Amino acid sequence: MSSVIDVFYACADAVVRGELISRESKRDKEFHFQDWFGKRLDELNAHYDVAGRNTYPDYPLVMRPEGYEIKGLAYPGREASYDANSQMPTGLHNGRRIFYVFGRYPVTDENEYAVHDLVICDGDFLNADHDYVHKNKHVKGFGTYGDIMIRDRKMYVAPTPFGLVENLERQVTLILPESEEVDDRLQVAGELIRTEAQNLVVGYKFDLQTNQIQADTVPNPNAGREHRFVAYRIQGDRGPSVRMK
């Protein structure tokens, strides 16, 4: 059994209790929500490896083959997509099941503030491809003297649940595959379906003279296949039902 329901319940309880996000200074633009989530794992006595700032996922658990990747989003602000530096979103990485935690917080000059809303979702809701392996490559010989290296360091821009699903505003929501077993602490808030695309991008070409980029695609053998998910909230919650945008 995954620990995600316990983790979700701890997060929802912390939001209800008014546990604030704390940042050390205004320069701390990324890790304050990550630290808030880490405290929830500590409350559960969930053991995790202390990962570096550029490792993936942010919280790899020790006793279970799963991990949590944390994405804090300022509100109001960009919410429909996020930048995934060096790692495409996925539901499985190095044998670990991956969950994504999206938390929105207010734009403020204060160093303590409440969580505006929160979504934990199975990584497969963002991308169900488990076979792609991210690697950075390079080519040499660029420039007048042929001694400049071009490094291909990919950044992925992926949708967030806030960009995919309606009625997440001011709510705490969990999104899991339809096949997932849950307990009676949760109630269904809606059913969500993601459908595989007609084509798959298998490569790209960049022309250094025209600065044009072109994708190479192939037909997706699973085009039209539906991936079904269920959105949950804490039992007794009276928030609105969710649906795909």
Q: For 30-47, how does the pLDDT look when each residue is reduced to its tens digit (9 = 90+)?
A: 688 999 999 999 999 999
Residue 196, pLDDT above cutoff 70: yes
Give the whole-angstrom CA distance, residue 227 versus residue 67: 21
Residue 6, pLDDT above cutoff 60: yes
pLDDT for res 111: 86
CA distances from 163 to 55, 126, 159, 211 (A): 25, 11, 6, 29
Mean pLDDT, residues 187-211: 96
pLDDT for res 109: 84
Q: For 94-129, how does the pLDDT look when each residue is reduced to its tens digit (9 = 90+)?
A: 999 999 999 999 988 888 999 999 999 999 999 999
- Res. 52 pLDDT band, cuts 50 70 90: low
Strand ranges inside the chain, DSSP E: 21-22, 59-60, 66-75, 81-85, 92-93, 96-106, 112-113, 117-122, 137-142, 148-152, 155-159, 165-166, 172-177, 186-195, 199-207, 212-219, 226-234, 243-244
Residue 65 CA, distance from chain mean position:
17
pLDDT for res 50: 80
Q: Strand pairing of 92-93 and 148-152? A: unpaired
- Res. 23 pLDDT band, cuts 50 70 90: confident
Per-domain residue ranges of the chain = 4-244
- Do 191 and 232 touch, CB atoms closer than 8 A? no
Give the whole-angstrom CA distance, residue 55 versus residue 141: 30
Rounded to the nearest integer, the mean pLDDT of the chain is 93
pLDDT for res 209: 92
Residue 142 phi, psi dihedral angles, 5° rounding: -85, 155
pLDDT for res 9: 97
Residue 25, pLDDT above cutoff 90: no
pLDDT for res 35: 92
Q: What is the pTM of this model?
A: 0.93
Largest CA distance in the chain: 68
Which of these ranges, 52-61, 141-150, 165-174, has the smallest mean pLDDT?
Answer: 52-61
- Do 112 and 20 touch, CB atoms closer than 8 A? yes
Residue 54, pLDDT above cutoff 90: no
- Res. 234 pLDDT band, cuts 50 70 90: very high
- Do 96 and 108 touch, CB atoms closer than 8 A? no
Name the residue among 242, 178, 228, 236 with its Cα closest to residue 9: 236
Mean pLDDT, residues 198-221: 95
